[in-house]
Amino acid sequence: MTDHIPAAPLAAYTAGDPHLDDATVWAVEVHLENCAGCRARLAELAAPPLRTLLDDVQVTIDRGVRTGPEPARRRAWRRLAHRWAVWSVIPWVATVAGAVLAAFALDRQFPERPSLVLLLAPVAPLAGLAIAWSRRSDPAWEITAGTSRAGLELLLRRTVVVLATVLPPLALAGWRLGMSPALWLLPSLTFTAATLLAGGLIGVGRAAAVLGGGWLLAVALPAVLTSDLPAVVQPSSLPAWAAAALAGTLLTVLRAGDHRRVN
């Protein structure tokens, strides 16, 4: 890493400024882990009473580690579950599953109207992505942020969890409605990649809101109101979706470093 944390975000981070966005906080912490110079600058910014307090805490923790009981080992499946997901995503999973089920039921009931499953597919993973990288929704955020695997790797890992949760109900609904899997899968992957890509610049939560809101307002709502299936969810648009999904995924991987940069 060549460029260091600028003075303003570092001061805001030290002061615990609530206006500092999640992406910046993560990027600051990932940089601090790898840069002794910026850690020294951070230590200088702390007020003397805080430094005394931190020294006391360190001495107490050291003593506790030396004299305390052995840590209890967790069961293997619990360790795996905690490594891949946070329990705070469960309400979101239930909401998405409910929405897909409702869309499926309406599509079954009114087959002549535009398919709600297809209109929902692109935006179904987005809220999960926003939750996966927000300190407000993650009760373990402080602990996660302090570990060496926080940041980009965690985001990508949770993206896999989000897709693994969202795609099966969509697949089931699409299969029962006799749709081609590509019709819902490619838009879903394209929007996921676009959210991660834009999220590197403006924050994942904001990117999910802009893209999801844009799709719902510009495509889904007019389709429901006019009962016309928009061209973008018809089979003729598949080559364009395939190209967009491929390009989006490649760009997301190439621009992965954006999630480490301090804005």
What is the contact surface with Zn ion in residues (CB under 5 A)?
4, 35, 37-38
Is the CB of 35 or the CB of 251 nearer to Zn ion? 35
- CA–CA distance, 255 with 167 (Å, rounded to integer): 25
- Please provide the size of the chain in residues: 263
Q: Which is nearer to Zn ion, 45 or 59 (CB)?
A: 45
Q: Is 140 helix (H, G, I), strand (E, B) or coil?
A: coil
Helix, strand or coil for residue 164? Answer: helix
Q: Least distance from C-beta 5 to Zn ion, angstroms?
A: 6
Q: Which is nearer to Zn ion, 9 or 248 (CB)?
A: 9
Compare residues 185 and 262 and give the one whose CB is closer to Zn ion: 262
Q: How far is the CB of 147 from Zn ion (least distance, A)?
A: 19
Residue among 42 and 216 whose Cβ is closer to Zn ion: 42
Q: Which is nearer to Zn ion, 28 or 119 (CB)?
A: 28
| Minimum gap (Å) between residue 37 Cβ and Zn ion | 5
Q: How far is CA 254 from CA 95, 190, 192, 196, 248, in A?
A: 32, 15, 15, 11, 10
> What is the closest distance, in whole angstroms, from the C-beta atom of residue 238 to Zn ion in the complex?
46
Residues 10 and 28 sit within 8 Å (Cβ to Cβ)? yes
Beta-carbon neighbour count of residue 229 at 10 Å? 15
Contact assessment for residue 32 and residue 42, using Cβ atoms and an 8 Å cutoff = yes
Determine the 3-state secondary structure of 180 from DSSP: coil
**φ, ψ for residue 203 (rounded to 5)?**
95, 135
The answer to whether 128 and 92 have CB atoms below 8 angstroms apart is yes
Task: Yes or no: say if 10 and 45 are a contact pair by the CB < 8 Å rule.
Answer: yes
Residue 101, helix vs strand vs coil: helix
Least spacing, CB of residue 243 vs Zn ion, in Å? 39
